[in-house]
Amino acid sequence: MSETTHIPAAQRPGTRALPEDLIDVVALLTAYREGHPDPSDPAQKVVFGTSGHRGSALKTSFNDDHIAAITQAVVEYRANKGIKGAVLVGKDTHALSGPAQDTAVQVLLGNDVEVKVDARDGYTPTPAVSHAILHLNAGRELAPSGFAVDGDNAGLVDGLVITPSHNPPADGGFKYNPPHGGPADTDATGWIAARANELLAAGLEGVHRVAAEDVAGHPKLGTFDFLDRYVTDLPRVVDLDAIRDAGVRIGADPMGGASVAYWGEIGQRHGLDLTVVNPEVDPTFGFMTLDWDGKIRMDCSSPNAMASLIERMTPDANGEAPFDVATGNDADADRHGIVTPDGGLMNPNHFLAVAIDYLYRHREQWPADAGVGKTLVSSSMIDRVAADLGRELVEVPVGFKWFVPGLLSGSGVFGGEESAGASFVQFDGGAWSTDKDGLLLCLLAAEIQAVTGQSPSQYYRDLMAMHGDPAYARIDAPATSEQKAALKALSPDDVTATELAGETILAALTNAPGNDAPIGGLKVVTQNAWFAARPSGTEDVYKIYAESFLGAEHLKRVQAEAQQIVDAVISA
């Protein structure tokens, strides 16, 4: 036995997981079936965050009861809205995703709802579900809420995506995408969560469900070829001809996730020089390298989780790397990681800035007045890029749902967030995916290489030469539940400080400038720096995002003074 087996996982970030780091899949699945939540325990209730309900069967927060209750609530929600079309159901490769899909399908069929699952009995990336919803609802004019403008929602389809994204292997996740194809808004998720918790408290009375043996052959059960639809339509949104003609060598790492079959099909069907560097699917994700805290986490923006791909991209003695661009995706492929031979793993903010600058200069059919969408905790490099492009900056709260109306209508052609999630519209301005699309952004990196002859890292260095070199970081600060509530309820008038790290405060924001929606916290802006503070939804901390164009030392001052400003306000 290696000596490393005696080293705690937290002390082994960036190294391959060892047997003792892996989950017991049998125990996890048993807990899913046999565990029953206590409806009076907040930790065991249904809670919808920005990406649906997440939990673990081992903590009695993601069990058969939860999924049955949530699915019944979704059935009732869509019935209230008059939606009678099929529900598309996709799952990722987490161990709990398959059983959760089984539960959901049984409840949908028990309510006489038409269901479409993957025609290949495989895994389905989040963006493939979103794209399929938009495809099947094509020709219908939808309001930003996702419902038909003419009020007739009967024929619309919507979807369920079963994934906890990049979360550890013991976790499960469950989210609802309305007919607009994107994440459900807070009105929908609030109603669904409340109703699901009522059903849990009632011992699932009111949940209708067919027996497992009655699913196969059920007249309401159908299939949809998500992979074929997605791969067939890709030339509408990314220049695959340029990638192929330039001979760009792509190394794609699905990280054991739902994109595994998609990357192989994309390369084969479109004639790309594309290698799937790790086609393995394993519910323990034992091939992963450990993240910063020793956990297995399929975070394609993390240098530790991406360590094996980064190492693989190291140039040899002749300066030659195996690929021109290497990419990673999380388990449901809604996030992207970009690795270049000359820059390693790109910071997500850096690639967002590159993507925006490139796209707005190379998509001639996009509306000339379409703005640049970013979340308010994304880098201000994007602000400077947008200004140089002569485009309006549309800054929204955290959460991809805020980009859905623009992507749906074509008025917002790009939306991106600092956590490595983004999507954009087709060449003709039509909607592609109203949820984050990691495969798309990875292919865009290859297009940038093909068209410009520069790696995305080289492209970013050019942007730095024009706009400056920002230092960016996120830290956590302790806060009680009362202090977190106070932070969430702040108004700009509560901030009395006039300076931040030696610069005059230009704005104190509690609503996003792009759509005036509450940000659930505070953002303070100066000429060359900013910070944003938001309460954590799961821990007794608040998160401080900060950035400075005056260097790393100035960033430290910004972070320290940000904590002082926030603490003074929420402790008053």
Dihedral of alpha carbons 10, 545, 567, 565, sign? positive
**525: Cβ contacts below 8 Å, ≥ 6 apart:** 505, 506, 507, 508, 509
Active site residue: 165, 302, 308, 457, which one?
165
CB 382 within 8 A of CB 374: yes
Identify whether the C-beta of residue 446 lies closer than 8 Å to the C-beta of residue 344: no
165 catalytically annotated? yes
Is there a contact between 444 and 127 (Cβ–Cβ < 8 Å)?
no
Q: CB atoms < 10 A from the CB of 47, how many? A: 18
Distance CA 225, CA 205 (A): 35
- How far apart are the C-alpha atoms of 67 and 76, rounded to whole Å? 14
* Sign of the torsion formed by the C-alpha atoms of 352, 357, 360 and 363: negative
Burial class (CB in 10 A: 0-12, 13-18, 19+), 83: buried
Distance CA 511, CA 514 (A): 9
Contacts of 470 (CB under 8 A, 6+ apart): 379, 380, 381, 547, 548, 549
End-to-end Cα, the chain, rounded Å: 55
Cβ 450 vs Cβ 243: under 8 Å: yes
Dihedral sign of CA atoms 132, 273, 328, 455 in order: negative
Catalytic sites, residue numbers: 165
